[in-house]
Structure 1
Amino acid sequence: MGFLSVLSMAHKWIAERAGRGDIVVDATAGGGVDTLALAELVGPGGRVHAFDIQQQALDRTRERLTAAGALDRVRLHLLDHARMSEAVEVDSRGRISAVMFNLGYLPGGDTEVITKPSTTIEALGAALSLLKPGGIITCVLYPGHSGGDAEAVAVEAWAAGLPQTEGQAVLYRQPQRSAAPYLIAVEKRKSQ
C-alpha cells in the first residue's frame, strides 16, 4: 500500500472539514473533476463556486456536472480566481468551509495558458479571507512544467510567511522527486 496521491490527500483533508450543506470553492475548475467531488461532498443543500478563465474548462465542468446530476448546486464563474471575493455572495463570506486549488494548465488544453504566481497569491489571500475558522485551503502545485516551478516557490513562500495567528500550513510531497506535484494546505485558525 502506497501513500495517497496529492489530489487524493487534498480531497481527504477537505472531506474532514466540509460536508453536507456547506459552501466550498473550486478556484481552478479545469475539467471539473474536483468541482464534481466538491459538489458530491456538499450535497443538494450545499453550494460550490467554481472558477476558471477558460470557457472550454467551464464547458467541460458543466458537462461532467450535468452527467452526474450535480449542476444545480454549482455556480460556474468565467473569472480569474484572484477575483473570487467579488463573485461569492456577501452573506457567504467567512462561511466557506474549503477552497481547492489545482494549479497549472487545463489537461488537453492550451499548455501556454497557465496559472500565474501573482494572481494565485492574490487568490490565496482572497480564499483565506472567505474561509470560516477551521476551514481549509488546499493547493496542488506542479513544479515540473514551464512556469510551474516559479509558482510553486511563490505559493510555498506565501504559506511559510503566513502568521500562525491566521492559519497553519502543511506540506505534503515526495522529497526524492523534485519535479513531482505536491500539496500545500492551510487551515484557518479557529477563533480564540
Structure 2
Amino acid sequence: MASLRHEFYESDERLTLSIFDKGANPDEVSVQFEPRKFTYTHGEKSLVLEPLKGQIDPEKSDYTVGKVKVEVRFAKAVIGRWGGLIGDAPDILANSAASPSSSSEPSTRPAAKRKNWDGITENILKSDKEKNPEEDPNVGGDSTLNGFFQKIFADADEDTKRAMMKSYQESGGTTLSTNWDEVGKSKVDVKPPTGSQWKKWG
C-alpha cells in the first residue's frame, strides 16, 4: 500500500492532522479512531499512526474530506502539547503501572483536576474587580448602580415601569427611559456607547 504525505499542528486541546490525498472520494475513505491509534485508508493508500504520542477521545474526534486533503481533528483526552504524532512520551494517562495501550479505563483520567481552572479564573476576576464605584460604575452590585435603578423602579407608577422595561429591552440595555409618552410611540433604538459597535448574537 502507498503511504500518504501528512503534517499536523496542535493546540492544548486538539491536534489537527492534514493528509494530502488529492481528490479523495468521501464514500471510499475509511477512518478509524482508537485511544492510541489512528488508521486512514482510501483504496490502495493508507496511513497508520501508532502509538499516538498522547491519548485521544475517539467519540469527540472527527474528519472532513476536501478536494486536496483530508483534515482530521483529534480531541486530546488530556490537555497539553504532544510535540509529535507518535511515540511513548508523554502519555500522562499511563502514569500508573498500566501500559499505554491499556489506558482505556476512563477512571485514570485526571479530568477533575482540570476543573480547578474555573476557580482560579474566578479568583483572578474577583481580585481584578476590587475597585470602588467612582472608578467603575459597574462595581458594587446592588448597593450602588443596580440599587439606584431598583429604587426608581420600585417607587415608579405603572407608565414609568412600562417605559423602563420597554426601553431597556428594545435597546439591548443601552437606553433606560422613564417617559412612557415618548417610549410608547415607537421602538427604542439601540444606542451603543461612543466608539462601540452594536452586534446581535445568536
TM > 0.5: no
The TM-score with structure 2 as length reference comes to: 0.19
Larger radius of gyration: 2
Whose helix proportion is higher, 1 or 2?
1
Q: Which has the higher contact order (CA 8 A, sep 6+)?
A: 1
The TM-score with structure 1 as length reference comes to: 0.20
Whose strand proportion is higher, 1 or 2?
1
